[in-house]
Structure 1
């Protein structure tokens, strides 16, 4: 279920367990990048140790020059040590950034791959229920929001757990009062950081949700700009987009307000602590304080603890800054988990075992190439070669000399519902190999849903869909079936690239043959670069008939045994429709062909008619 922004906020306010689940998921992702995170933290700790050495070297040099009046020649070694420390710190900073980036990059790549895999698992039917702009925002911006959590926050968390304790241990023997100041004031920074940051995750969730909604709304309106302008609604939608953008701006500013507020508070406490150290050390040097080691304190010791004071709070302040990266990651993790946890409709786990087609007079069953595979039927069926070289499935009831062609496609009491809405009810249907089927019915009768079940895009609520005797799953369907939807999608690229989409490894001659067979070369020959002519996204620059021919060329190149076409002649004039139907008859004469259509000309050309009415089979 997809929550509105208000519902989303209320859900998180009432169910803190969700936030814990997001934090646990982030922790789980961190296990995969533990090594680069540890290396980044080690480099940060080494840099902190360099700060201690740098402060000690500077304090020693100033004590020697100002108080002890030592000659400059005696300070060559301390200066060399100081230079070495500078170089070491530079290397540590570089390694800290590099390994941190590596951790973030690995997580982003892994999560994006998991999202892509999930999109494939959910399938086209489930993906269409969400806005494409929203999915793009989650895959890009919200996955990117995870990076700083792993590249900055996690290493800094480890650094804070080690480095301040080392600094306190170093300072205590020098000046235990300053060590106590560090010990008392240091924990105040993370405490107030947590208090101020409580609302940061909530604000980031609202910001991410608003960004996803804005992305989806803007992309939808951009794709429908022509329709909006035709109906005179472009100006109104521009106003709506401005309002949505303003809402996103307000939520972004709310996140920034929290960030600036927390930074101000943390700067205040660290400044107060550094001031306490400076006042104590300064008054001790002037002989105005007689508490603790102030009376015996030297300039070198004073400079050492004073130089370390701001560096002691630096890791804590950096963690406070990076704490907002954690809040952003929690907000992003919620959106990502909403997709990863989305239930995919159950589909059969049956293996799609392939066998080669057999050719008459070829008893060894020599494979005819990767174009010659169909799903293997159950063991109860027999296999024989037909006269045209296709694999035929023979029922066990066949007697000697009398061979029955088994059903290629079978719907057994199939029903499909979406929640309380029943789309298909009690469908019993058998389609044999080579049949030409017209699937007819009014809009909303369930034609597209029936095709989606056969393609494995969706799973039936009741009953089973069988392909060659096996329950349909998406893998089997993809190997045995070629499909062209109502609006064939054309990608930005050349005509040749779009045809070769079904088989990127196909030879150039095979692509040309498919283009010629589908009639693509009839219009591509008139274009400047023929099949290499670039075309725009969604077929910009081509007519509807030309787009359909490219889609049919894809199907022909795949050479599947079953062809599904969904309203192939929609929005075509009579001349282009006749040409397209001739191409379909020619290309798929020896295939099992199922066409969902209202067009009488299409129905007339098929040898069998299957009618749906309100989700029920009527003929």
Structure 2
């Protein structure tokens, strides 16, 4: 990974630590207290052994020392527990806030942005990558502070009693962070590649799982299984590469710490044998001095070793931060205003151009007007820009030009208030895991009687009443257990409960059989009386009841007017209508031919 990018990601990660609250500082505080209590224990142990072994004092003189040692052991255990809890809470608060920020950002960017990646990739970001920030904030950041503070305290305690031991500690200490940095240079890049492989695997698997029936019918199941196996193997290899770095780092750090402690032990050993005579301040080296320094020596290197052990958490967090930062810093399409609509909905577009989130032109420039309570159909060939226009109206895509709602520019409207006036129904109804009641109410305070009334209007009440659980009937993931027609009618009941001033319909009957289509269309016709409607459809034969038809082709409005006017004019609409009529006649002829054969 480029050093500039890594530095930028590290800085971004540190800026997020305010989400941890005071728990991060609390973890450091408990860590410092743990270090101080250990120094006290080292002093007590060295004092007791010096007095009993060298000074030949009775053990009874050290009763208070033994009780103090016992108390400090308990205190250290409590402090260690408190530090772990504070660290965990710091990471947990960060994860909660980060997930909320990711979900809020996705909600702000809208479905047009989300559809740019497979669902599995978003699951990887929200779950795996946010989860892998935990140790960076819970362990690495506190340890960085402790790695600088605790060794400094120990040096302050050691230098006054033996300057040679202090110099040995000071000289050997940089070996650990130097090697840690060398290992970490490749760890961040390995983690980043590991997360990319995981995101690809998640997205690939999710897409194949959703299309499993198609793969089976086209006899491609075994082939796709091999592709998934290959992707899984790639992810396994990258994961093992990250683990190898982590284990190598820990092993070498332990080696350098052991060598450094051995150098201290050799110095004191030769000093006691009178082969070395330096490091003291004119007084011979006592047993207390050697024991005190040697007991503290492992604790001098321990914070550095722990930082090295947790350094892979930093590399892991940097790998996870790349996509998180790109997502959270992604520019939103428009500034959201604060104006509200109080009148009936009227839409006026003038030289309107709709763009994708990456700046590509999708539609326009177009100009049109939808009056209050007017019903307008938008038709055109696939890819002409119909859905892009709907996404612009819903506030999901950026635009240039004018798009006024009841005289107010769309970007100046409060987005939540604007959407309260909308009822949306698409061709692929999205029902959520939960009860039928929850799916109809969608967080609104609706009584059971009101929900039954909505279900009755959507002509799905009979189905609900046949279920033993009634409104508590569970909706499974991917609407399992419901037909497309039933799911569409439940979604229709949800839309009807919005009390909307504008219905936005995107092929609401495209996936329905003729009976379900008639039922849904009849309900929509009744519900849309007295309100405006914008509907995208390919069913041209049912447009005679619409007040206006907009014909879009290649991103431009090529025709507009009433249905009776357009059928008499040469152009895209008549061509599409003729093709639809020919296809319908072909289907009828095929059905009759199959009937004769039978």
1:615 aligns to what? Answer: 555
1:485 aligns with 2:426: yes
- For residue 318 of structure 1, report the CA deviation from its aligned partner: 0.6
1:408 aligns with 2:346: yes
1:231 aligns with 2:231: no
What are the residue-to-residue correspondences of 1:565-584 with 2, within 5 Å? Answer: 565-584=505-524
Within the candidate set 232, 235, 238, 1:251 is matched to 238
Q: Distance in 1 between matches of 2:533 and 2:236?
A: 53
- For residue 550 of structure 1, report the CA deviation from its aligned partner: 0.7
Q: Distance in 2 between matches of 1:448 and 1:225?
A: 27
2:590 aligns to what? Answer: none
Is contact 1:456–1:477 with CA below 8 Å preserved after alignment? no
Q: Distance in 2 between matches of 1:32 and 1:239?
A: 43
1:271 aligns with 2:209: no
Is contact 1:36–1:99 with CA below 8 Å preserved after alignment? yes
In the TM superposition, what whole-angstrom CA distance separates every residue of 1:381-434 from its partner, at most 9, and x where no partner exists?
A: xxxxxxxxxx56xxxxxxxxxxxxxx7111112123446864322321111122
Closer/same/farther in 2, CA of residues 72 and 500 from structure 1, 3 Å limit: same
1:443 aligns with 2:382: yes
Closer/same/farther in 2, CA of residues 295 and 145 from structure 1, 3 Å limit: same
Closer/same/farther in 2, CA of residues 608 and 261 from structure 1, 3 Å limit: same
Which is worse superposed, 473-482 or 189-198? 473-482
What are the residue-to-residue correspondences of 1:371-410 with 2, within 5 Å? Answer: 375-376=341-342, 408-410=346-348
What are the residue-to-residue correspondences of 1:260-339 with 2, within 5 Å? Answer: 260-293=247-280, 296-339=284-327
1:513 aligns with 2:453: yes
The number of aligned residues is 554
Is contact 1:521–1:531 with CA below 8 Å preserved after alignment? no
Which is worse superposed, 82-91 or 282-291? 282-291
- For residue 127 of structure 1, report the CA deviation from its aligned partner: 1.3
Q: Distance in 1 between matches of 2:123 and 2:12?
A: 21
Is contact 2:129–2:320 with CA below 8 Å preserved after alignment? yes
SS of the residue aligned with 1:336? Answer: helix
In the TM superposition, what whole-angstrom CA distance separates every residue of 1:162-183 from its partner, at most 9, and x where no partner exists?
A: 1111111211232222111101
1:468 aligns to what? Answer: 406
Structure 2: stretches of 5+ with no match in the other structure? 561-598
Which is worse superposed, 280-289 or 80-89? 280-289
Is contact 2:421–2:498 with CA below 8 Å preserved after alignment? no
Within the candidate set 65, 71, 76, 2:63 is matched to 76
Q: Distance in 2 between matches of 1:39 and 1:130?
A: 40
Closer/same/farther in 2, CA of residues 321 and 82 from structure 1, 3 Å limit: same
Is contact 2:257–2:298 with CA below 8 Å preserved after alignment? yes
What are the residue-to-residue correspondences of 1:46-445 with 2, within 5 Å? Answer: 46-293=33-280, 296-346=284-334, 349-353=336-340, 375-376=341-342, 408-418=346-356, 422-445=361-384
- For residue 89 of structure 1, report the CA deviation from its aligned partner: 1.1
In the TM superposition, what whole-angstrom CA distance separates every residue of 1:339-366 from its partner, at most 9, and x where no partner exists?
A: 112222225x44232xxxxxxxxxxxxx
Cα root mean square deviation, aligned: 2.0
1:540 aligns with 2:480: yes
- For residue 283 of structure 1, report the CA deviation from its aligned partner: 2.7
Q: Distance in 2 between matches of 1:86 and 1:421?
A: 66
- For residue 60 of structure 1, report the CA deviation from its aligned partner: 2.1
SS of the residue aligned with 1:174? Answer: coil
Is contact 1:350–1:471 with CA below 8 Å preserved after alignment? no
In the TM superposition, what whole-angstrom CA distance separates every residue of 1:500-535 from its partner, at most 9, and x where no partner exists?
A: 11x522222221211111112022122232222112
Q: Distance in 2 between matches of 1:417 and 1:91?
A: 59
Structure 1: stretches of 5+ with no match in the other structure? 1-11, 354-374, 377-390, 393-406
Is contact 1:484–1:552 with CA below 8 Å preserved after alignment? yes
SS of the residue aligned with 2:160? Answer: helix
Q: Distance in 2 between matches of 1:57 and 1:162?
A: 22
- For residue 250 of structure 1, report the CA deviation from its aligned partner: 1.2
Is contact 1:284–1:295 with CA below 8 Å preserved after alignment? no
Closer/same/farther in 2, CA of residues 456 and 70 from structure 1, 3 Å limit: same
Q: Distance in 2 between matches of 1:535 and 1:151?
A: 38
- For residue 292 of structure 1, report the CA deviation from its aligned partner: 3.8
Q: Distance in 1 between matches of 2:472 and 2:416?
A: 31
Q: Distance in 1 between matches of 2:488 and 2:308?
A: 58
Closer/same/farther in 2, CA of residues 532 and 71 from structure 1, 3 Å limit: same
Q: Distance in 1 between matches of 2:89 and 2:360?
A: 48
Closer/same/farther in 2, CA of residues 455 and 285 from structure 1, 3 Å limit: same
- For residue 247 of structure 1, report the CA deviation from its aligned partner: 0.9
TM-score, normalised by the number of residues in structure 2: 0.88
Q: Distance in 2 between matches of 1:422 and 1:187?
A: 56
Q: Distance in 1 between matches of 2:83 and 2:435?
A: 45
2:594 aligns to what? Answer: none
2:470 aligns to what? Answer: 530
- For residue 469 of structure 1, report the CA deviation from its aligned partner: 1.0
Is contact 1:350–1:470 with CA below 8 Å preserved after alignment? no
2:532 aligns to what? Answer: 592
Closer/same/farther in 2, CA of residues 422 and 282 from structure 1, 3 Å limit: closer
Is contact 2:19–2:97 with CA below 8 Å preserved after alignment? no
- For residue 32 of structure 1, report the CA deviation from its aligned partner: 4.5
In the TM superposition, what whole-angstrom CA distance separates every residue of 1:569-600 from its partner, at most 9, and x where no partner exists?
A: 11222222112211222222232122211114
- For residue 186 of structure 1, report the CA deviation from its aligned partner: 1.0
Is contact 1:597–1:603 with CA below 8 Å preserved after alignment? no
1:500 aligns with 2:463: no
Which is worse superposed, 141-150 or 523-532? 523-532
- For residue 490 of structure 1, report the CA deviation from its aligned partner: 1.0
1:456 aligns to what? Answer: 395
Is contact 1:50–1:89 with CA below 8 Å preserved after alignment? yes
Which is worse superposed, 290-299 or 128-137? 290-299
